[in-house]
């Protein structure tokens, strides 16, 4: 396709931008091209050439799957048999084909095939879904040059190195491209890298001047060049290469590289040549697999498996030794003790002459026979349960954010139960606790403060100080809300600013906001409304504020900005044109941004906005008229949790500007290595002698429900840390607003704001600064620990607040343990000015230092390290892109959903998985020990009491489905009660339900049940008439009777353990028992060759015999009686917290507010955070009797 019509925009932004654009230069590092690591050669527009073909670069097909058709079977089998339990069952399955086996080989292999097959099927389905996503991405279409200036659509996967593609506005780049030209004459384009680094602000890219003329499809046909560059690597921000074009060599830099998966914005189209494809692209090079995370419950489960293996080997060893001794004595002087084994004419397995060999063989037989102590279906059952639990999390309507159409999304199901054991939450602030949606709310102009709105922080301060004025002044606003603008002041709005004493300065103030920016306007063709694409939410808020006050920026050309503003003289809206001469961009070093414009009167103006610490020092002596008032207002804005910028301007003389511009252009086009330093020097010389106009204040609002959520989490006993990049004052006030801090809480401050250190900084002695800083941090930590020690046992609450510089020293090896000890003694911790690396290091310190579960939550690319370092990473799907979400374990849309995720789903999942694992071991010990007891009673003859298929199907059909149902549906208390009594969550934090005491208790329960089942059945069926025909019970009858009792006992035990019955649980429990009887009928009806000793055993022997039914009634009752007795006594005298809550509901007192409050007060402590803790703190001193109730509130429940 050829491009038709005229070009839409021809903007020479490279002429006005300072840093992003400018002539690239050959530097020393370009000499590495062609050497090791810099060997890639690309023949532009010649992908089919012989030279390109012999290099054999990767194609553009990208695969994220774990398996292929060829590797699925071997890789998946390897993954399954890496688990020690599965490998053990594989070995016993192989041994089942030898004469050592106590059962048939088929009966041993079939259950293993079912379990492994189910797991492999799950793996296959998950990988197929990844395959479908790959197909969707690889089949996206892009225009590629086919020759003769013709472009046609092709799929991404078909692109090759050297192809030239045309990417349209709002399309993703299909590969790593070298920018050749764009719809702008000077070949710049805007790129959104949200998928790469999570940042939504636009990046400016620019092609080489020599290729900027390739503006039409037809001009591409004759373009040929050779690019030599670095080899594929993972560094997103570096690129080194050269282009050989028309016998000239030109340097290439990251400014010309467009990365795969970033998006073209605000640019009609670009032409680019494919440099890196597929696995060679930088985004794929960066896609390292996330760290493997396993829950503490799962790790402990592995230890239990090893314990059971120890028991298994012990039983096998003891039995084999005893068997060897008995076998040796079988034939003594011609007398046969165990005559039925024919010791005088036996195989090696029972030969008295080879007793040691027989004992060894018996050991192998016993390993197979007692293998039922190990639950073969445990792993696959847990995986199924966790997947279903994740589905419930994903579909929870209470965690669905309707405004953004974003439900919760569990990206992994491995950590479900870990959600119920979180001890410490480490949270980002901006975009996590706050909305990262900036609103212009206040300003200070000419020493006068404007803006009558109140921030969340100010409302919190009002409540804190007992002042209702803040709430009273907030009336209902009938006007529709405007995104980015929450400014209310009749002195400014509706053109009333013209009547203010300093109306001329107000005009300059808002005119500066309308002109000093890099935003691009987009006019809606239908409504005519102007929308803005800005580099940051702050900048968008400034332009919107100017528009709402009456200074509407509506058009940008290559060298001008058009503003529709109110004329003070005529009172009419007029269009004014400002010629854009230069843009001096913002960066983290300069901390300011300026534009130089020429107004319609011909005056050259420098308009500047920046941080207060760099702006005040650049004011002229005659420009400081309102400095003191502005500083006072800034302090108030910081107290209100607002972000502030200073606005100032100056008028440049014509000769002064001409001199500056010449130096500026020379610095921009410098080919020396210190180009940036030269530009800084030139801009520093012009950004001085400014006249102060005022300050802006924008609010990053708290998300809805954040204070309530933090209060509930604090009541649950969870510690909360905030790690933010904001300065200390802002972070403290946000802490008050969201209830992390409160009045009366002792604040332990750690910072380096001391006269001594400031003096050393002026002197510039780095070693002295480091030494003094370390000493000060250590001193403040020791002082804080002393405060904690002095108040130990009291009700005083502490908050630790530390800045980034101090944190760097606190995280050093010899100090970090002291810092952690101090931090863990505080109710809340706030780390200010924290870098992304510090966030990750703090998370690692808390995780390793406490040994407890940590949860990190954040929304930006700067939070990725923290999320991956924590035991659980929660990504907020906010406005800072998807980088945090893609690196997280679970994604939610709002911080407040963390309350339900942890207190409800976390508690449920922890309890379900813990109970499920304990029950699994119980039922297998009950079954396996019964087999052992029978063999012991037969002098370890190696013969199982049960039929082969009885043994094989126990774990698969007759006892597994009820435990899966419990893992998915059981609830000890409802969601409403989980939230009403947050302290219930501590059962998971303290691991009450999966402690070794509880695990051993369930094992002992299994041992008790096995002993009762075996001995009761054995004694009841001792040689005597079993039926009216006078027949006695053989091994077949004993085995079938014991098996029936076992099926009843383990399923009824499940019924006793369940707290919340559903139809599915009834179906699975009673269905499993019914299935056993149906199986006996069907299996017994088969030929004796297949059913062996189970042939018609139920129909002809068991069913007609009353004693069989009596045994199956009495034995389960006897086996369950110890558990029932223990549970009743525990409930009456030593109830767990969830049992207390169950009694509240059972007694019908769940709607009695006074009674429920008394139980709930156990979770209310004045040493925690949250507004409820503040309530307790106040009442502790006001009402001593009330405090007595708090400490003794559980007694009424026990008395009930």
Please, are residues 926 and 1014 in contact by the beta-carbon 8 Å criterion? Answer: no
Give dist(CA 815, CA 837) in Å, integer: 18
Give dist(CA 128, CA 572) in Å, integer: 64
Residue labelled with tokens 């553009």: 60
Give dist(CA 78, CA 163) in Å, integer: 41
Cα angle, residue 234 at apex, residues 233 and 236 outer, rounded to 5°: 115
The token pair at 1050 is 């383990």
Q: Tell me, rounded to whole angstroms, the distance of Cα 1167 from its chain centroid.
A: 29
Give dist(CA 1003, CA 995) in Å, integer: 12
Give dist(CA 1046, CA 599) in Å, integer: 93
The contacts of residue 198 (CB under 8 Å, 6+ apart) are: 860, 861, 862, 864, 880, 881, 882, 883, 884
What is the CB neighbour count within 10 angstroms for residue 3? 17
The contacts of residue 528 (CB under 8 Å, 6+ apart) are: none
The contacts of residue 886 (CB under 8 Å, 6+ apart) are: 875
The bridge status of strand 560-566 relative to strand 573-584 is: antiparallel
Give dist(CA 1099, CA 1037) in Å, integer: 12
Give dist(CA 661, CA 579) in Å, integer: 14
Please, are residues 202 and 266 in contact by the beta-carbon 8 Å criterion? Answer: yes
Cα angle, residue 1079 at apex, residues 1073 and 1082 outer, rounded to 5°: 150
Task: Give the DSSP H/E element, type plus range, for residue 789.
Answer: helix 766-790
Please, are residues 196 and 236 in contact by the beta-carbon 8 Å criterion? Answer: yes
Q: Tell me, rounded to whole angstroms, the distance of Cα 1175 from its chain centroid.
A: 33
Please, are residues 903 and 979 in contact by the beta-carbon 8 Å criterion? Answer: yes
**Catalytic residue check, 428:** yes
Please, are residues 209 and 23 in contact by the beta-carbon 8 Å criterion? Answer: yes
Q: Which ranges in 851-960 belong to alpha helices (H)?
A: 864-869, 883-886, 897-900, 907-937, 948-953
Cα angle, residue 924 at apex, residues 923 and 926 outer, rounded to 5°: 65
The burial class, CB within 10 Å (0-12 / 13-18 / 19+), for 493 is middle
Helix (H, G, I), strand (E, B) or coil at 1062: coil
User: Any bridge partners for residue 699, and if so which?
Assistant: 439, 642
The token pair at 1059 is 């707290």
What Rg, from alpha-carbon coordinates, does the chain have?
38
Residue labelled with tokens 């976390």: 906
Residue labelled with tokens 């200070």: 444
Residue labelled with tokens 């649980």: 1065
The contacts of residue 545 (CB under 8 Å, 6+ apart) are: 440, 443, 484, 485, 487, 510, 513, 696
> Side-chain half-sphere of 249: how many Cα atoms within 13 Å?
10
Give dist(CA 19, CA 675) in Å, integer: 9
Start-to-end CA distance of the chain, whole Å, equals 83
Total residues found in the chain within this entry = 1200
The token pair at 862 is 């700067």
- Among the listed residues 176, 280, 351, 428, the single catalytic one is 428
The token pair at 823 is 């931090």
Q: Which residues are catalytic?
A: 428
């Amino acid at each position: 396709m050829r491009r038709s019509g005229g070009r839409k925009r021809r903007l020479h932004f490279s002429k006005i931008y300072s840093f992003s654009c400018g002539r690239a230069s050959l530097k020393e590092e370009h000499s590495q091209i062609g050497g090791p690591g810099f060997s890639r050669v690309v023949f532009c527009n010649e992908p089919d050439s012989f030279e390109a073909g012999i290099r054999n670069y990767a194609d553009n097909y990208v695969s994220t799957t774990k398996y292929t058709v060829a590797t699925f079977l071997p890789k998946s089998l390897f993954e399954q048999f890496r688990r020690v339990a599965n490998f053990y069952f594989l070995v016993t399955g192989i041994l089942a084909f030898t004469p050592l086996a106590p059962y048939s080989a088929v009966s041993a292999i079939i259950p293993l095939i079912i379990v492994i097959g189910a797991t492999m099927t799950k793996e296959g389905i998950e990988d197929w879904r990844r395959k479908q996503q790959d197909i969707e991405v690889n089949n996206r279409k892009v225009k590629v040059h086919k020759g003769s200036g013709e472009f046609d659509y092709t799929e991404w996967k078909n692109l090759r190195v050297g192809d030239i593609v045309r990417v349209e506005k709002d399309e993703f780049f299909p590969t790593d491209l070298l920018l050749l030209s764009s719809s702008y004459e000077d070949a710049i384009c805007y790129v959104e890298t949200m998928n790469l680094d999570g940042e939504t602000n636009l990046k400016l890219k620019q092609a080489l001047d020599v290729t900027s003329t390739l503006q039409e499809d037809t001009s591409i046909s004759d373009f040929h060049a050779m690019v030599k560059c670095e080899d594929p690597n993972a560094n997103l921000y570096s690129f080194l290469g050269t282009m050989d074009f028309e016998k000239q060599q030109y340097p290439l830099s990251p400014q010309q590289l467009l990365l795969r998966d970033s998006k073209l914005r605000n640019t009609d189209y670009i032409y680019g040549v494919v440099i890196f494809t597929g696995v060679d692209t930088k985004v794929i090079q960066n896609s390292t697999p996330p760290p493997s995370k396993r829950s503490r419950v799962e790790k402990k489960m592995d230890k239990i498996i090893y314990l059971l293996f120890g028991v298994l080997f012990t039983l096998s060893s003891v039995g084999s030794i005893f068997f060897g001794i008995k076998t040796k004595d079988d034939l003594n002087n011609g007398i046969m003790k165990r005559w039925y084994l024919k010791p005088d004419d036996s195989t090696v397995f029972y030969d008295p002459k080879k007793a040691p060999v027989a004992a060894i063989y018996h050991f192998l037989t016993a390993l197979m026979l007692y293998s039922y102590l190990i639950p073969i279906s445990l792993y696959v059952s847990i995986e199924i349960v966790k997947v279903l639990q994740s589905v419930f999390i994903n579909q929870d309507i209470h965690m669905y954010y309707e405004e953004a159409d974003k439900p919760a999304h569990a990206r992994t199901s491995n950590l479900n139960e870990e959600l119920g054991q979180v001890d410490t939450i480490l949270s980002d602030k901006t975009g996590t606790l706050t909305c990262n949606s900036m609103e212009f709310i206040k300003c200070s102009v000419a020493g006068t403060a404007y803006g009558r709105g109140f921030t969340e922080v100010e409302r919190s301060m009002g409540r804190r100080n007992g002042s209702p004025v803040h709430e009273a002044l907030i009336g209902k606003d009938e006007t529709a809300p405007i995104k980015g603008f929450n400014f209310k002041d009749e002195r400014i709005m509706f053109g009333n600013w013209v009547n203010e004493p300093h109306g001329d300065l107000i005009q300059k103030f808002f005119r500066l906001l309308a002109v000093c920016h890099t935003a691009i306007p987009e006019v809606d063709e239908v409504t005519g409304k102007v929308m803005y694409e800005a580099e940051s939410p702050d900048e968008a808020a400034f332009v919107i504020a100017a528009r709402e006050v009456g200074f509407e920026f509506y058009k940008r050309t290559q060298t001008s900005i058009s503003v529709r503003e109110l004329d003070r003289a005529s009172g009419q809206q007029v269009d004014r044109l400002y010629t854009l001469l230069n843009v001096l961009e913002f960066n983290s070093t300069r901390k300011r941004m300026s534009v130089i414009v020429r107004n319609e009167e011909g005056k050259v103006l420098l308009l500047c906005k920046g941080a207060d610490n760099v702006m005040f020092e650049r004011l002229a002596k005659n420009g400081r008229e309102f400095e003191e008032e502005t500083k006072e207002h800034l302090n108030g804005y910081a107290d209100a949790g607002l972000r502030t910028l200073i606005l100032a301007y100056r008028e440049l003389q014509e000769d002064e500007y001409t001199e500056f511009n010449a130096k500026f252009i020379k610095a921009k086009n410098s080919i020396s290595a210190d180009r940036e330093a030269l530009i800084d020097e030139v801009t520093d010389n012009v950004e001085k002698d400014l006249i102060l106009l005022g300050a802006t204040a924008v609010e990053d609002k708290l998300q809805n429900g954040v204070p309530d959520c933090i209060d509930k989490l604090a009541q649950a006993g969870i510690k909360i840390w905030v790690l933010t990049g904001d300065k200390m004052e802002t972070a403290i006030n946000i802490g008050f607003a969201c209830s992390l801090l409160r009045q009366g809480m002792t604040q332990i401050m750690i910072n380096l704001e001391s006269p001594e250190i400031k003096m050393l900084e002026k002197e510039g002695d780095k070693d002295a600064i480091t030494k003094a800083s370390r000493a000060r941090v250590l001193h403040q930590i020791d002082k804080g620990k002393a405060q904690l020690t002095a108040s130990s046992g009291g009700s005083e609450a502490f908050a630790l607040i530390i800045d980034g510089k101090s944190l760097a020293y606190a995280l050093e090896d010899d100090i970090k343990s002291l810092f952690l000890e101090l931090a863990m003694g505080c109710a809340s911790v706030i780390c200010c000015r924290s870098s992304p690396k510090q966030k990750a290091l703090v998370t690692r310190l808390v995780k390793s230092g406490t040994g407890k579960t940590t949860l990190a939550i954040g929304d930006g690319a700067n939070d990725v390290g923290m999320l991956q370092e924590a035991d659980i990473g929660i990504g907020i799907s906010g406005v800072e892109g998807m980088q945090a979400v893609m690196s997280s374990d679970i994604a939610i849309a709002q911080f407040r959903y963390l309350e339900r995720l942890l207190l409800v789903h976390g508690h449920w999942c922890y309890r379900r998985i813990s109970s499920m694992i304990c029950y699994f071991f119980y039922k297998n010990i009950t079954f396996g020990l019964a087999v052992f007891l029978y063999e012991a009673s037969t002098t370890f003859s190696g013969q199982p009491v049960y039929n082969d298929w009885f043994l094989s199907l126990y774990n698969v059909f007759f006892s597994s489905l009820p435990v899966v149902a419990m893992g998915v549906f059981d609830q000890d208390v409802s969601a409403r009660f989980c939230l009403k009594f947050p302290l219930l969550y501590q059962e998971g934090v303290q691991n009450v339900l999966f402690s070794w005491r509880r695990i051993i208790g369930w094992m002992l329960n299994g041992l008790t049940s096995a002993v009762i089942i075996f001995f009761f059945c054995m004694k009841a069926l001792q040689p005597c008439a079993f039926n009216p025909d006078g027949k006695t019970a053989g091994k077949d009858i004993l085995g079938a009777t014991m098996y029936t009792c076992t099926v009843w006992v383990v399923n009824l035990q499940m019924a006793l353990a369940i707290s919340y019955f559903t139809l599915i649980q009834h179906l699975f429990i009673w269905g499993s028992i019914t299935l056993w009887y149906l199986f006996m009928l069907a299996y017994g009806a088969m030929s004796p060759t297949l059913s062996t000793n189970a042939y018609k055993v139920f129909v002809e022997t068991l069913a007609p015999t009353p004693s069989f039914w009596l045994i199956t009634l009495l034995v389960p009752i006897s086996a369950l009686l110890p558990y029932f007795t223990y549970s009743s006594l525990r409930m009456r005298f030593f109830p767990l917290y969830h049992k207390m809550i169950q009694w509240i509901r059972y007694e019908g007192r769940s709607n009695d507010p006074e009674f429920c409050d008394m139980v709930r007060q156990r979770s209310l402590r004045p040493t925690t955070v949250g507004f409820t803790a503040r309530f307790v703190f106040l009442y502790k001193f006001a009402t001593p009797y009330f405090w007595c109730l708090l400490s003794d509130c559980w007694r009424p429940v026990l008395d009930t």
